[in-house]
Structures are given as C-alpha cells and as structure tokens.
Structure 1
Amino acid sequence: NRSPRSNRKELMSEHLATRITARDRAREFPVELYEDGGVLFCKVCQHSNDYIRGQTAVAHLRTLQNNNRSNTDILTSERKEFTLDFTRTLIKADIPVEKGPKFSTFLKKHCKQGGSTPAPYYQRSDYLPELYSQYEGDAVEGKDI
C-alpha cells in the first residue's frame, strides 16, 4: 500500500523532462538562451537557469528585470568586451584557448553568476578573427602588440 506522499512525489517526477539537456533547452530559445558546459545561461543578463523545467526559462524571460535589461545594449557590449579581453589575455600570456575553461573554476568562484566564459570553439570562431584583424592593424601602425 502506497502512502499519499509517495504518490505525490511520483506524480511530480512524471512531469519532469528527464532526458532534456541544457543544449536542448537553448535550441528552444536560441535568441535568448545559450548553453555552456551543461549550464543554461540567459544571453541578456548572464544568469544561469534551470533547464529541466521549461516554464522556469519562460518565467525568467518574462521577468521585469530581464525585460529592462533587454532594452539596453550595454550588457551585450560589456559581455563582448569581457570575452575579447579574456581571449586577448590568453593569447598574450601564450596560453592555448583550449585552456580557457581551466580558468572558469576561478571565475565561477570569484565572479557573479559564474563569470561564464565561452567554449574554446566559440572563442576561435567568433572572437579570434576580430582580435587578429586588430593585431594586423596594430602591427601596420607600429603599435605594441
């Protein structure tokens, strides 16, 4: 004979999407969310989100705080500047971009919301070309590289 409490737990667990991943949830909301290292992040506020319950992501995207932030491009430009600086620092220190995630543990400990850094693939595809063009321009102008 089952107790009512165990039935309630079983019913609640039946409603959870047990096989969904952060990447799956990010594919549902590609404009607003992204996945990095198995964690679901909001592109606007860099806040980590629960990816198992879809309603959690929807509720976060509807929050007033998030809507206010989405009206400004400041956060996006700050995020891009951080990532460019982080990638530039790795390059200047002669540290392979693949080692960047090793720094994530330090950043997660000391930065708000984990200081999510992009995966090496995104650093190579999205940020290195921009840094290389800056490098070429600085080399032509004779600036310190």
Structure 2
Amino acid sequence: MPKKQKTSSVYTRCNEYKDIFRVDDNVLFCNHCNISIDWKRKSTVDNHCKSQKHVFNVRSQEESQNKTQQLTLSSTQAVSESKKQLIEDLIEAFATADIPLEKVNSLLLFFKKHVKNGGSIPQAPTLRQNYLPSVFDKHFQSLKLLFDSKPVAIIMDETTDDCARSVVNTLFCYHNETKLVSVDFLERVNNTTMGQVLTTILTHFNISFNLPCLFLSDSAAYMKKCHCEVLSPLMPQLIHVPCCAHIINLIGYVSCW
C-alpha cells in the first residue's frame, strides 16, 4: 500500500523557515524582501532564499541592526570618557603651545575629517566654559604636589594686561623646576596688597612661612617696602634680591634722559 503524502499548507511551509517568512491572508511573504513567494513547491522557496537579492537584503538588515543596537552603560561611559579626554588633551596642548582657544573654531572641520571623535570637539566658548575649569584644576593640583611643603624661591612681578588691569604673576622655583603658580588681578598695587597675595598663595600650597628662602622682584619702592614691612616679620629668613635685568633697564632709561 503506497504511503500517504504529507499535505502542506502555507503555515507549515512558513514554519520550515523560521523568522524568514510570514503569512498574510494565506499568502507567504519574505520578511527581508517584502515580496510574495509561491509556497507550494519547496524548491521555489529554497531558490528564493539562495538568490543574490535575498542574501543581500538579509546582510544589509543585520548590519543596520548592529549599528542601531543600544550600547551598554559601561560602553556608553567609555565612549564619553574617550571624547572628554580628547577635548581636555586638546586644551592642554593649546595652553602649552600658547595658542588662544579661539583658534579651535577654524580647525573644527579638520578635526572632524582627520581626528577620531573629532566631531565631538565643541567651539571655543563651550571649551572655555565647560572644560577649561577641570583642566585648570588638574594642572593646579599637579603644581600643589610639586611644591607642597617645599623651601621654594619666590619670583613676583606686576604688569598690566590689554584692559589696563594690574596683574601680579607669582612663580615658584625648587631645584630645576620653575613654574607660574598664580595670576592675580589687583585693584590697588602696593606693599600691603602684594604681601597679602603672597601669603595667601603660600597657604594654598601648604608652605610654612619658615620655608621660603629667596624673594626675587623688581626694584620698585613698594616691593622693597613689601619685603621689609610685610614679609620680613613673617619670614625673617627670606632674602630679597632685586632683579638685575630691571636695574640695568632703569639705568639705561635714566641714561637716555
């Protein structure tokens, strides 16, 4: 007695190819190509699955799905930290090379084209407002570690900036390291305000008043008075050395008259 052939339906045929086809109104549709397929002959269905168009559509949809797949929290944090590190390193490089941050605006297209994550670099105002403070804090902490509780030599000088403001620059020297440690803007520059600036800086760097050994400044009368009346009572060991270059400059200035 001959074997009874197993009857197929559109649903049984669809179940033979998991996630590839779907049934809509008794019609077999390909999920990837979005076309109807004659389901009655298995060979016809197999040929469609092997066709170049079907294989291409499957591959394209898999790649698209991988690109849009949600990142894990750790991956997202890693990407964010990588972008932040790039921006902070860029600010440090510009500061080291004495390049104004405004120059970044002219380089954004170059960064986006040639630098990995370069498209995440913002314009100069955002760099200055959101990223520069943290870069400065890291730099200041490194200075504190370098000069903490050290018998530093001190260099102070006052000048004016482009806005005609009085600016006091303070440098510390220890062994072979000479670093600018503070830039202060003063409304009035005299022996008292200069002394207050220096004592505040020493406190911030955890430097006891009995440690500094040398005080270098110009020969201005208020700086000599600062040493004699403000600093010497607090730091009797502090030796004041007027700047030789400033003295020579004064001599040349007087000689011209």
TM-score computed with the length of structure 1 as normaliser: 0.48
Higher RCO (CA 8 Å, separation ≥ 6 residues): 1
Structure with greater proportional helix content = 1
Larger radius of gyration: 2
Structure with greater proportional strand content = 2
